[in-house]
Amino acid sequence: MPLSKQIGLILGPLVFTIIQLLPFDLISDMGDNVIAVALWMVIWWITETVSISVTALLPLILFPLLKVLPIEDVGANYGSPIIWLFFGGFVLALALEKVNLHKRIALTIIKFTGTTANKVVLGFMIATGFLSMWISNTASTVVMLPIAMSVIKLLIADADGFTKQDKNFSLSVMLGIAFSANAGGIATVIGTPPNSVLIGLLENEYNIEVSFLKWMVIGLPFSIIMITIIYFVMVKLFFPTKGIQFGTSGEVIHEELAKLGPTSQKEKRVMLIFAIAIFLWIFRTLINKLLPGLALSDTIISMIAAISLFAVPFSIRRNEFIISWPDTRNLPWGILILFGGGLALAKGMSASGIVDVVASAIATSEISILFTVALLIVLMLFMTELMSNVALVAVLAPVVAGIAIGLEVPLLYVLIPVTIASSCAFMLPMATPPNAIVFASGHIKIHQMARVGIILNLIAVALLILMFQFVLPLIF
């Protein structure tokens, strides 16, 4: 076990014990208990001494023992509706991957963008960003990487060898895939876990509902703008690819599509269920107005789609369904537990009065609202370079809610840009799985990723401050 993990393993419970033994109160008996649990969780999350999902189970044990919350109240957070919304999203993603529909969608998008170097880069970025709206950013990167490597091999094997322009192209494609995967997930509620952690917090603690469509109104334009900026920063500023023309890249795409064969009946059924789910998510509010007795929610729609994939037979004679329960071995169950732990921690912070203490402290200070929000965005964005963005949002979102209350600013105005900031980690390989995956390809060095990433991080900060100041007040 690495030294950092050994230290974390001991330091977490040690800090917890020290706070328990303090001869004075930091906030109150209950508040100090929650702080002690939170610090233990943060230390284990940062060091990843044990799985971050296992760490998320600590409130289930410690909150009842410390009389913060009864176990039934803590346990309810692990079965919150938002967790089932994400479960349904995971099942949809599983079906897309099982029938290879995600790969067909990606290849089709790349096929239509063209064969000049910049257009190929753009095609990979659009395809990755679109996939990341619906499946995990890790899965979308894993799908795109082998296709990108095949195109790069064409350049290595051509007559002039692997020139500087060729290297620039490979850097643009690799970084474009990773960064588009990160940015694409921002577009939808199910695109990346931090979005769901926030929406669960808002529903559980503040009775504020942000619908699938409402989030897309904010998230989709931000994703499109961010991916567009990433593209221009890379191909125009850092890694220009003038003069590269390779029609053979089109052959690679055609070969990959040919391997998939014609669209199968299973793909068509998955596509139909997927399309119906998206339609219902987008038009849910209108449908509920027309049919007030229906009371559709995003979670119900998600679960209808998930159960349909299990229950709609592909072949009755062969007892074959689109997906079966053994397929769920590939479902990221740990993320669902992580959501529950984050919501339980938020509930503990609220019940113990920590959020109120933060709110009153901010209310009595003379800090500028814009400066405070900008600082929170910067803090979230650069901290997520070093630790899990889901864990970070789980810990910081309740505190940020307290700050927003203290500033007398609507919660959504502050929490949305701060949460989105957690998905804008472009600097380091360890920041997100897509960054790590493309770094492992061997075509990228850390200093190259960091050089582009710091610029993109700062641009993301600027965009999120503008979102706080001008965009969110128009929408909410």
Q: With a cut of 70, which residues of the chain have pLDDT below it?
A: 155-162, 243-250
pLDDT tens column, 282-338: 899 899 999 988 889 999 999 999 999 999 887 777 878 899 999 999 888 998 998
User: pTM score, two decimals?
Assistant: 0.89
The predicted pLDDT at position 413 comes to: 96
**DSSP 8-class letter at 238:** I
Look at the block and give the residue holding tokens 């009595």: 364
Question: Are the beta carbons of 89 and 305 closer than 8 angstroms?
Answer: no
Q: Which residues, other chains included, contact 330 with Cβ-Cβ below 8 Å and sequence gap of 6+?
A: 94, 97
Look at the block and give the residue holding tokens 């014609």: 262
Question: Are the beta carbons of 304 and 278 closer than 8 angstroms?
Answer: no
User: How many angstroms separate the CA atoms of 370 and 6, rounded?
Assistant: 40
pLDDT tens column, 418-439: 999 999 999 988 888 899 999 8
User: How many angstroms separate the CA atoms of 222 and 78, rounded?
Assistant: 30
pLDDT tens column, 46-79: 888 899 899 999 999 999 999 999 999 999 999 9
The predicted pLDDT at position 356 comes to: 87
**DSSP 8-class letter at 470:** I
Radius of gyration of the chain (CA): 23
What is the chain's length? 476
**CA 193 to mean position of chain CA atoms:** 4
What average pLDDT does the chain have? Answer: 90
Measured distance between the N- and C-terminal CA atoms of the chain, rounded to whole angstroms: 48
DSSP states along 85-127: HHHHHHHHHHHHHHTTHHHHHHHHHHHTT-SBHHHHHHHHHHH
**CA 42 to mean position of chain CA atoms:** 19
**CA 245 to mean position of chain CA atoms:** 35
* Residue at 167: amino acid letter: K
The predicted pLDDT at position 253 comes to: 77
The predicted pLDDT at position 412 comes to: 96
E runs forming strands in 313-360: 313-315, 320-321
User: How many angstroms separate the CA atoms of 271 and 387, rounded?
Assistant: 35
User: How many angstroms separate the CA atoms of 200 and 208, rounded?
Assistant: 9
CA dihedral 57, 60, 61, 62 (to 10 degrees): 100
Question: Are the beta carbons of 218 and 471 closer than 8 angstroms?
Answer: yes
Residue 248 has a CB neighbour count (10 Å cut-off) of: 13
The predicted pLDDT at position 358 comes to: 86
Dmax of the chain from CA atoms? 75
User: How many angstroms separate the CA atoms of 270 and 294, rounded?
Assistant: 25
User: How many angstroms separate the CA atoms of 374 and 368, rounded?
Assistant: 10
User: How many angstroms separate the CA atoms of 461 and 382, rounded?
Assistant: 10
User: How many angstroms separate the CA atoms of 90 and 95, rounded?
Assistant: 9
Look at the block and give the residue holding tokens 């789609």: 305
Helix, strand or coil for residue 440? coil
Provide the residue ranges of all domains of the chain, joining segments of one domain with +: 1-50, 82-330
Helix, strand or coil for residue 272? helix
